[in-house]
């Protein structure tokens, strides 16, 4: 297996088994100046990344990443994933599907992680009032295309 394959395998294993206790293992995987970005966060530094995931565990009763396909070359890789979660105070389980672009340094440390997923489809369209409006806009746009 290539270096990028090994790095992506180690990284996806971390996410598939992630819990609050494993956040301390981030020090072994991420560079201390890692850049992390998703539709709600854009942070730099390992402590900031840990805060993002602590928040995730605080607002979710349950959450689990399921990593599917992975590919990469050189120092960059991509992971296709599903995030299964239940928000605190809700009994409804939900799923977000996305892709992560991950860049490594020559030591195999993650220096950048950027998530791509549709926050309108998976979050905003589930909200009262706003969700109905966004669903209507999406349908109108798709009919026009």
Each residue of 66-97: pLDDT tens digit?
Answer: 999 999 999 999 999 999 999 898 888 989 89
The domain ranges of the chain are 3-117
The answer, yes or no, to whether residue 6 has pLDDT greater than 60, is yes
Tokens of 20: 């609050």
For the domain covering 3-117, report its CATH number: 3.10.450.50
pLDDT cut 70: percent of the chain above it: 80
pLDDT cut 90: percent of the chain above it: 70
Look up the pTM and report it.
0.81
Tokens 């730099």 appear where?
44
Structural contact between residues 99 and 81, judged by C-beta atoms closer than 8 angstroms: yes
The answer, yes or no, to whether residue 122 has pLDDT greater than 50, is no
The answer, yes or no, to whether residue 124 has pLDDT greater than 50, is no
């Amino acid at each position: 297996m290539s270096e990028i394959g090994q790095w992506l395998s180690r990284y996806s294993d971390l996410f598939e088994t992630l819990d609050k206790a494993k956040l301390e293992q981030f020090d072994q995987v991420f560079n201390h100046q890692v850049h992390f970005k998703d539709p709600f966060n854009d942070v730099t530094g390992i402590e900031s990344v840990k805060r993002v995931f602590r928040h995730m565990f605080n607002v979710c009763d349950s959450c689990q990443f399921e990593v599917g396909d992975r590919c990469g070359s050189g120092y960059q890789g991509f992971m296709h994933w599903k995030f299964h979660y239940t928000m605190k105070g809700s009994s409804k389980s939900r799923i977000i599907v996305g892709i992560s672009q991950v860049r490594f340094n020559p030591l195999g440390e993650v220096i950048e992680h950027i998530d791509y997923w549709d926050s309108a489809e998976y979050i905003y369209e589930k909200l009262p009032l706003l969700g109905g409006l966004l669903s209507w806009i999406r349908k109108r746009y798709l009919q026009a295309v």
